[in-house]
Amino acid sequence: MKIKTKLSITFILLLIFGVTAVSSYSILFIRSYLLEEGKQRLARDADQLRIAVKYASPDSIDDIFDNFEDVSGYKLDIVRQADSTLFKGNRIDPSVEVSYFQGDVEVPVYHHRADEMLFAYVPFSTANQFRLIKVSQSEDVLFEPIKVIRWIIYTGMFISIVLIVIVSTIMARSISKPILELKEGAQRIAGGDVDYELHLNRKDEFGELTDSLNSMAHRLKEDTESLQEMYDRHRQFYADITHEVKNPLHTIRGALEMLEMEELPDQQRKNYISVTQKQIDRLNRLFNDMLTLQRYDDDKTMISKARFNLKDLMKRMENNYKQRTENIGITLEIDLRGKVFCVCADEDKIEQVFDNLIINAMRYSEGTEITLKATERENRIDISVEDNGVGIPEEHHVKVFDRFYRADEARSRIKGGTGLGLAVVDSILRKHDVQIQIESQVGKGTAFSFWLRKEKKKQA
């Protein structure tokens, strides 16, 4: 059964029960009210008859009775002492068929009710004989107005029920409409339609639920896109690994096949051995970089921050690479702007960042200068590795830190790179809660920049 039908039936039943209960109570209340009023009126009329009989002459009593019956509609009967069980001496016995008894016989007996009849007794005496006038009226006369009232109530109840059915149906449809829309939206989102968006302009709980479902769909869409991107990257990653491993293996296999030739000249033999060693070194670097990246991805404690002097590290890097850069015609310089260069970071990992950035500039920039620059700020040190090489096209900037990504595939493999150096740099700096930036223009050079938090000197 649909929720709209359930709501309609619930509203209709509740309201019908309510209308029926009110109508029944009204009829019972009116009936009780009419009965009580009839008793009081009968008592008052009987008392008036008693007074009229008391002061009337004996000859006019019959006329008084006749007029009283005609005007009031009551039935009058004379109860004699001889044929009545109501008397006890000269008093009315209150224990016999009489509901209420007040005072002596001069006071009428009110509210006597038996066999759907109301009775009142009026005492009077003639020729020293004590008698009672019984004034009676059928309850049907009292309840006659109820027939009309009942039909009025039943008609109103029927009209109310019809209106209840109509209003309940409209209300059930109004309440169930947003629920059905939410159900449809939830089913579509659960079915994978993460672009679906609910539009319920409501300020109640349905509106809050709509916002929650839209927010859930948005997060689900982001997670789906993230998972798809991760899947694509992993698929590309394995394809790149296969490609990266396949090339040096083919080269090694070709070199070994040539080394098997007995008539191969010694110089060529040395060249093939050198090629094999270089390819083995390339594979070794590849797997070392992959292992490093995997450790950074999985191990949350790879970074051990401590206070160290960045200026000393940069000078050490200059000494390590001075001779190597000069051998290929590149000038390596450091540019320090400031006085305090103490930072809080993992010194070994920052050294690896400098290693990878300098090697990247040596291999791929084809420039003549590499500059390690550090600028002191208020709470941090801005660091950059700059070259004046060929630069990187702007469309490649967002991807240079992806694993195995190369702006120029052929030139990169000739230089012997693994395509993981900048990815390692990005992973290390992310572990430091720092993001590396790239600025590059074709023909003017490239600058990789990041920052480290400055650490004040400890007080003695």
H or E element that contains 78: strand 75-80
Dist CA 102 CA 398 (whole Å): 109
Side-chain-side CA neighbours of 269 within 13 Å: the count stands at 8
In the prediction, which pLDDT does 243 show?
Answer: 63
Dist CA 245 CA 163 (whole Å): 81
In the prediction, which pLDDT does 88 show?
Answer: 42
In the prediction, which pLDDT does 460 show?
Answer: 42
Domain ranges of the chain: 3-146, 195-299, 303-453
In the prediction, which pLDDT does 385 show?
Answer: 93
Sequential pLDDT tens for the chain (460 residues): 566 676 677 767 777 777 778 778 887 888 888 888 887 888 788 778 877 777 777 677 778 778 888 888 788 877 654 444 444 444 444 443 333 333 344 444 434 455 677 777 776 665 555 567 778 888 777 777 777 777 877 787 788 778 877 877 777 777 777 777 777 777 777 777 767 777 677 777 777 777 777 787 788 777 888 888 778 767 766 776 776 677 778 888 888 888 888 888 888 888 888 888 888 887 887 777 777 766 666 666 677 888 999 999 999 999 988 888 888 888 899 999 888 889 999 898 899 899 889 988 887 777 788 999 999 988 899 999 999 888 888 888 877 877 666 655 444 444 455 667 788 888 888 888 899 999 988 888 899 999 999 886 654 4
For the beta carbon of residue 178, count every other beta carbon within 10 angstroms. 18
Side-chain-side CA neighbours of 204 within 13 Å: the count stands at 4
- DSSP strand E in 100-221: where? 109-114, 117-126, 129-138
For the chain, counts of helices (H) and of strands (E)? 10, 13
Burial of residue 162, with CB atoms counted within 10 A of its CB: 0-12 exposed, 13-18 middle, 19 or more buried: exposed
Distances (CA, A) of 303 to 288, 291, 314, 339: 18, 16, 20, 26
Q: Which residues share a beta bridge with 121? A: 109, 134
Provide CATH code, domain 3-146. 3.30.450
In the prediction, which pLDDT does 339 show?
Answer: 85
In the prediction, which pLDDT does 408 show?
Answer: 53
- DSSP strand E in 139-239: where? none
106 token code pair: 């001069």
pTM of the model: 0.47
In the prediction, which pLDDT does 236 show?
Answer: 67
Q: Are strands 117-126 and 109-114 parallel, antiparallel or unpaired?
A: antiparallel
For the beta carbon of residue 300, count every other beta carbon within 10 angstroms. 8
The CATH superfamily of 303-453 is Histidine kinase-like ATPase, C-terminal domain (3.30.565.10)
User: Given 1.10.287.130, 3.40.50.170, 3.30.565.10, 3.30.70.270, which CATH number is that of 195-299?
Assistant: 1.10.287.130
CB of 365 closer than 8 Å to CB of 390: yes
Q: Which residues share a beta bridge with 114? A: 117
In the prediction, which pLDDT does 421 show?
Answer: 77
